[in-house]
Amino acid sequence: MTVRIGSLELKNPVMTASGTFGYGEEFAPYVDLNRLGAVVVKGLSLEPRAGNEPPRIMETAAGMLNAVGLENIGVRAFVTEKLPYLRQHDAAVIANIFGETIDEYSRIAEILNGAPGVDALEVNISCPNVKKGGIAFGADPRDAAEVTKRVKDVTDLPVIVKLTPNVTDIRAIAESVEQAGADALSLINTIRGMSVDIDKRIPHLKNITGGLSGPAIKPIALRMVWEVAGVASVPIIGVGGINTASDAIEFLIVGATAVQIGTANFVNPRATEEILEGIERYLRTRHIYDVNDVIGTLNVREEM
Amino acid sequence: MCDSVTELNRMVMTGVIHSNDAAAEDFFVMSVAVSDAFQAAMPGQFVMVRIKGRDFPFLPRPFSIFSVAHEGGTTIIEIFYQVVGKGTKLLSRLGRGDELTILGPLGKGFDIRQDRHTIVLIAGGVGIAPLNFLAEYCKGSDDVPEKQTRIICFMGARTADYLIGRERLDKICDTLLVSTDDGSEGYCGTVTDCFENHIGSVNVEDSTLYCCGPYLMMQSVARKVRKYSMPCQVSMEARMACGIGACLGCSVKMKTDDETVRYLRVCKDGPVFDVAMIDW
């Protein structure tokens, strides 16, 4: 089940999606963290962030909108309070980082570079719910490349760049980020959306718009992973609406080397482990001994 | 290995519906048999509920525990809910034998203060749910000293028909005072006004207030209790996705001494909070 994300070797391709798994410990009563390929932690900023005013979430058809606004304890508190617990486990720790300026990305990356137990960085240039930073960097190929380069300059860790779907051509961003030195790409972040209370005629979210996640976005995420797989030579981590093992396998087939489980963790806190077991079963029943033999095997030429 | 998996699984389980009856229009009491693995719940805790095998609603929904009973070897939990949307409508159509996925008990329940001997409950509408459990617990548990079992309950609803669970509370509480919006029973007006009218008969020095109801009602209680220097705990409600502290969706604004903005998670830091912790 071993897969490689740049220089990082994961014992299996199942990881958590940032912002849906806390700092890992929230899920310890439900999931054996040692079973997971990696835990991607809640996005970290240089200073603690309070996040957006509630209401922050709303269920929509086959998914949910959120506008949490990157509430987090800040990178320093993460290193002292959360990392010691996480690193005891046999799962890679991937720190998702977020800055309002390019300098902030660089400073957070520096702090984490010296932190024992962090195995890789995931650079969030795709959050739709914050006023500054986030999607502003992810929507422009040059800005996205600049953030990537500045982070790469200050860290020895593998750098994964998380892309937004809220662009005209995700391939252009992917290519630009790869050229800037990204070791891997993860996609997609949430899709901007909204929902309205027709009695009060107000948005369901205080932030008015939010990021859509859940099964509703899976076909879009899958299409984008397939598109990017056609142009990128670095590993791709597929994320977006994965709710079952067969969802995850679809992503592997279209070219993802690993997958992240996000909103499914809210529906079933045991989702990651159950999806991992489902992938293992899929391989076993088909006598496939290496998960890499499934990755990027989509057959579009032969008769279906 | 198997033991550790069972251990990890202990809070996610299948619940089998025993009954699901309308107590008034759009208000239902559901009793659900859960496995032995369901841990001892404290009053104020909640469960996340999903209809087993259904894709809709997508997210589980939080419900306060209304009561916990043990019949033979089975634990039965009751939830009291109001039909407010499509999810609760579907829930209301389920019957005996239907299955739910239950996660819980979750959250921080009421802190039962041993240093004060009177328990004052203020419940608005469906907010009676955690307070009923609290009253039953205080009368039935060995953990609560005998002398601390004086319970005064203020119960408010829109009309007499909606005073659901009052017969049970009447047996448990030393004093039960009801109020209705239309005056069809008891005091005509809000439960908070009813409480204030009777404050003279409450020994505030020796009482703790426990409150649950609509936001505006709890806000009103929060303002009133400041005058009486009476400890007060409120059980809050919010939209939730995970129920275990990860999604950060159910935030409420925390009262801070300075200008800093901080949020508390209803699911993990609560749902029960000291009234002074919330920025109303």
Domains of chain B (ranges, CATH numbers): 10-105 (2.40.30.10), 118-232 (3.40.50.80), 236-280 (2.10.240.10)
CA proximity to B101, closest of B8, B16, B4, B29: B16
Question: Which residues of chain B carry a pLDDT beneath 70?
Answer: 1-10, 141-148
Q: What pLDDT sits at residue B146?
A: 62
pTM equals: 0.94
CA distance B194 to chain A (A): 30
Contact B59 A20 (CB under 8 A): no
For B58, the closest of A21, A55, A63 (CB atoms) is A63
Q: Which residues of B touch A29 (CB under 8 A)?
A: 8, 10-11
Q: Which residues of B touch A20 (CB under 8 A)?
A: 242, 246-247
Check CB contact of B1 with chain A, cutoff 8 Å: no
- Which comes out higher in pLDDT, residue B94 or A129? B94
Give the Cα separation of A230 and A291 in Å (integer). 20
For A26, the closest of B8, B238, B246 (CB atoms) is B246
Q: Which of residues 107-126 of B touch A (CB under 8 A)?
A: none
For A59, the closest of B59, B242, B261 (CB atoms) is B59
Phi then psi for B196, rounded to 5 degrees? -65, -35
Q: Which of residues 10-39 of A touch B (CB under 8 A)?
A: 19-22, 26-27, 29-32
CA distance A172 to chain B (A): 31
Q: What pLDDT sits at residue B259?
A: 86
pLDDT of A131 higher than 70: no
Measured over all CA atoms, what is the biggest interatomic distance in chain A, rounded to whole angstroms? 57
Catalytic residue among A127, A139, A180, A259: A127
For B251, the closest of A22, A56, A266 (CB atoms) is A56
Query: Both tokens of residue B11?
Result: 């809070």
Per residue in A191-221, pLDDT tens? 999 999 999 999 999 999 999 999 999 999 9
Q: What pLDDT sits at residue A304?
A: 56
Element of type H or E holding A229: helix A218-229
Give the Cα separation of A168 and A136 in Å (integer). 14
Q: What pLDDT sits at residue B148?
A: 59
pLDDT of A163 higher than 70: yes
Helical packing angle, A245-254 and A218-229, nearest 10°: 20
Residues B128 and B135: beta-carbon distance below 8 Å: no
Sequence-separated (6 or more) residues with CB below 8 Å from residue B255: B276, B277, B278, B279, B280
Q: What pLDDT sits at residue B1?
A: 36
CA distance A3 to chain B (A): 25
Q: What pLDDT sits at residue B2?
A: 39
Give the Cα separation of A251 and A219 in Å (integer). 10
Q: Which residues of B touch A50 (CB under 8 A)?
A: 260-263
Q: What pLDDT sits at residue B3?
A: 43
User: Where does residue A51 fall: left (phi above 0), alpha (psi -120 to 50 degrees), or beta otherwise?
Assistant: left
Q: What pLDDT sits at residue B10?
A: 62
| Residue A127 known to be catalytic | yes
- In chain A, domain spans: 3-293
Per residue in B103-155, pLDDT tens? 999 999 999 888 888 999 999 999 999 999 999 998 876 666 665 578 999 99
pLDDT of A301 higher than 90: no
Contact B238 A54 (CB under 8 A): yes
Give the Cα separation of A161 and A147 in Å (integer). 9
Average pLDDT over residues A266-284: 97
Q: What pLDDT sits at residue B205?
A: 86
Residues A50 and A297: beta-carbon distance below 8 Å: no
Q: Which residues of A touch B280 (CB under 8 A)?
A: none
Q: Which of residues 21-50 of B touch A (CB under 8 A)?
A: 50
**At the topology level of CATH, where does A3-293 sit?**
TIM Barrel (3.20.20)
CB hemisphere CA count around B260 (13 angstroms): 8
